[in-house]
């Protein structure tokens, strides 16, 4: 259980670092662009979506590795064991959508719960970032 907690923590920390770096780099890049302000917001949204997709893939790789190795738990249900199934499961977990067609068993359940919490926090962080960027570049009318 201690090793599972350590790996889960490392996955979450990696996702947070990636998210921070994406938002930080966009904060530096967006003001330098010589495009209309509305395109700056569109680029900010695209950058944020890219960051979220990378974070989801990081969790998916963790699910894939844990599912393939005994003692970590597994994913059951409408699940073939492929990496793309892990990505699908990760997207539904990260966004807290959770269709319920794939269920985690064993230590994987902890990673699933922490991914949902991480996704909620990172999506909220993105919304706050985009709100601040919109206030910066939109007229106060």
Rounded CA gap, 46 and 25, in Å? Answer: 13
Rounded CA gap, 45 and 30, in Å? Answer: 11
| 111-121 pLDDT, tens digit each | 999 999 999 99
Write the DSSP symbol of residue 105. E
Rounded CA gap, 123 and 128, in Å? Answer: 9
Do residues 4 and 110 touch, judged by C-beta distance below 8 A?
yes
The full DSSP string for 73-100 is -EEEES--S-HHHHHHHHHHHHTT---S
Domain ranges of the chain: 2-137
For 2-137, give the CATH class. Answer: mainly alpha
pLDDT at 2: 86
pTM over 0.75: yes
| 24-51 pLDDT, tens digit each | 999 898 888 887 777 888 888 999 999 9
């Amino acid at each position: 259980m201690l090793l599972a907690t350590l790996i889960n923590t490392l996955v979450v920390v990696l996702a947070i670092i990636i998210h921070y770096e994406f938002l930080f780099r966009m904060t530096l890049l967006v003001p330098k662009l010589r495009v209309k302000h509305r395109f700056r917001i569109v680029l900010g949204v695209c950058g944020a979506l890219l960051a979220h997709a990378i974070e989801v893939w990081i969790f998916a790789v963790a699910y894939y590795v844990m599912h393939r190795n005994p003692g970590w738990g597994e994913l059951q249900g409408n699940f073939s064991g492929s990496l793309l199934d892990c990505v699908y499961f990760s997207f539904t977990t990260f966004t807290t959508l959770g269709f319920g067609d794939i269920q985690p068993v064993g230590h994987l359940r902890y990673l699933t719960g922490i991914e949902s919490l991480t996704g909620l926090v990172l999506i909220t962080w993105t919304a706050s970032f985009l709100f601040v960027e919109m206030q910066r570049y939109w007229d106060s009318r």
